[in-house]
Amino acid sequence: MTSKKLVNSVAGCADDALAGLVACNPNLQLLQGHRVALRFDLDSLKGRVALLSGGGSGHEPAHAGFIGKGMLTGIIAGAVFASPAVGSILAAIRAVAQAGTAGTLLIVKNYTGDRLNFGLAREQAQAEGIPVEMVVIGDDCAFTVVKKAGRRGLCGVVLIHKIAGALAEAGVPLKEIKDRVSVAAKAMGTLGLSLSSCSVPGSRPNFELAADEVELGLGIHGEAGVRRMKMAPADEIVRLMLDHMTNTSNVSHVSVQAGSSVVLVVNNLGGLSVLELGIVADAAIRTLESRGVKVARALVGTFMSALEMPGLSLTLLLVDESRLKLIDAETTASAWPHMPKVSVTGQKRIRPAPAHPTEAPDITVEGLSSKRMVLVLEQVCATLLDMEEYLNTLDRVSGDGDCGTTHSRAARAIQEWLRESPPPAHPAKLLSQLSLLLLDKMGGSSGALYGLFLTAAAQPLKASTDLPAWSAAMDAGLEAMRKYGKAAPGDRTMLDSLWAAGQELQALRNPQANLFHILTKAVESAEAAAQATKNMTAGAGRASYISSTKLDEPDPGAVATAAILRSILQVLKNLESE
């Protein structure tokens, strides 16, 4: 079965993609009759060297995204993963020559079809009297022995575009640009890694990997790498990649060692999430710096993809000050990242957190003690940990299945907090500190809602801790949840069970109130309200996006809050009977 692709037609997808890029970028033009994109301001290049590159489509944003002042003059695109036509390459060369440029440099990735077609176009252009030079870039670090075909061209060619573009913009002559980028290419290496395959429009995936496998050293068209290995943590994968790239016994290694200064490129092969890319970038910088390598600049993003392949490549370019200035030179190319012109290594990456406000000394409140607080919190934590899988199961019906995990994370955070020091005895201070803890550690909307509830509930208890104050605290917490969470009773949320309990706790305002009788009724009402949510139509939260006919289980948040109230009542009753 072929993979799904959002295209108009398989045959026309490369043309449509290039047309879309040009349509959105007024600085580009298509060359009529050819799959060629050129700078709109060709006439401004008179007397300077033109830079042309290209290759198969499917590697976007390469190469058209790198057209602009300070980078490429134009590109020639082939069909997906296919070399461009000789006639189109020659037409591009003629177009820039007719604009009065001082010669053309063809920047070609080292693949047989690209070498042949660009090379033939160059020969024909030279026969017409057009000065044309060509550099073939091979930056692949995968193979440990010499291959007749040489090193494959990978993401490193983008850095060559940048260096050549800066030189051309400065008016450097053709031969010098060719010589300098050729030297730079020898100081560069790239290694790719894939979690699974990609597929050309209209075709099946071009290789398969087991669920627990990754492939090291593959090419940008899905060509085989040097080995398959078991999936591992990102830190370990990155360390292995950098080891392979810099191993001096590897004939295709890049000579990076302690004291070297490098430009690092962390490139998305198309289907890796931005989250994963950030993790890889962090691992790469930490690993290089731990080896005494200075990361002068770091480019992180999608620069040369392989359609939707979930994978990445790492590129290292050795730099000195003169080469770094070329990397830093201004460009209008849309796909080149705007990065600070300062070294990555040596920057202070962490700002100290602001100090917490000074708190008043803790005061023991009559009828309460730190020990009692600990017993209550320990029971609540034990209950939530026991309910983790049950709450996750309930949440899979209406959410992302992590309600139990989120509550367990909160429980473990509270347990760790209790181990560090006794909790405050004063209820207001206790609730305030629990609020900060859950906001920091629990995460998700549940953490925010609990934080809101506890912060608001703490305020009435600052002035008094008698029974009416506890009723007022419940009211304040519920009002905060309604105000910011936008839920109301009956919306099938955690508010339903808390609201039911809150209505019963109104009785605490009566001077003759029986605490345990009222608490028991409050807990029973909360539990009944939690079960009643299975018959409600969701009016807030993720469940509100799901048909009510599919919601045949109670809301997990309501079940969790009812269980918390039951745990509190249980401990208080046990303490009363002692």
> For the residues of 365-427, what is the DSSP string, one character each?
PTT--HHHHHHHHHHHHHHHHHTHHHHHHHHHHHS-S-HHHHHHHHHHHHHHHHHHSPPPSSH
Q: Looking at the chain, which residues constitute the CATH 3.40.50.10440 domain(s)?
A: 12-328
> What is the domain class of 368-577 according to CATH?
mainly alpha
Q: For residue 29, give the DSSP letter.
A: E
**Secondary structure element (H or E) that encloses residue 294, with its range:** strand 294-301
Q: Are 394 and 559 in contact (CB under 8 A)?
A: yes
Q: What is the SS3 assignment for 317? A: strand
Q: Are 365 and 465 in contact (CB under 8 A)?
A: yes
Quick one: 100 exposed, middle or buried, by C-beta within 10 A (0-12, 13-18, 19+)? middle
Q: Residues forming the annotated binding site?
A: 56-59, 109, 114
Which residues, listed in sequence order, are joined to residue 55 by a DSSP beta bridge?
A: 77
Q: Looking at the chain, which residues constitute the CATH 1.25.40.340 domain(s)?
A: 368-577
Q: What is residue 539's predicted lDDT score, i.e. its pLDDT?
A: 60
Which residues, listed in sequence order, are joined to residue 137 by a DSSP beta bridge?
A: 109
**CA-CA distance, 278 to 284, in Å (whole number)?**
10
Q: What is residue 551's predicted lDDT score, i.e. its pLDDT?
A: 59
| pLDDT tens, position by position, 380-439 | 999 999 999 999 999 988 777 899 999 999 999 999 999 998 899 899 999 999 999 999
Q: What is residue 361's predicted lDDT score, i.e. its pLDDT?
A: 55
Q: What is residue 367's predicted lDDT score, i.e. its pLDDT?
A: 42
Cα distance from N-terminal residue to C-terminal residue, the chain = 70
Q: What is residue 541's predicted lDDT score, i.e. its pLDDT?
A: 54
CA distances from 442 to 240, 412, 476, 486 (A): 34, 9, 21, 20
CB neighbours of 243 closer than 8 A, spacing ≥ 6?
none
Q: What is residue 207's predicted lDDT score, i.e. its pLDDT?
A: 82
Q: Residues forming the annotated binding site for substrate?
A: 56-59, 109, 114
**CA-CA distance, 413 to 406, in Å (whole number)?**
11
**CA-CA distance, 540 to 519, in Å (whole number)?**
28
Q: What is residue 358's predicted lDDT score, i.e. its pLDDT?
A: 65
**Which positions of the chain have pLDDT values less than 70?**
1, 358-369, 538-551, 578
Residue numbers annotated as active site: 221
Q: What is the CATH number of domain 12-328?
A: 3.40.50.10440
Quick one: 570 exposed, middle or buried, by C-beta within 10 A (0-12, 13-18, 19+)? middle
Q: Are 138 and 188 in contact (CB under 8 A)?
A: no
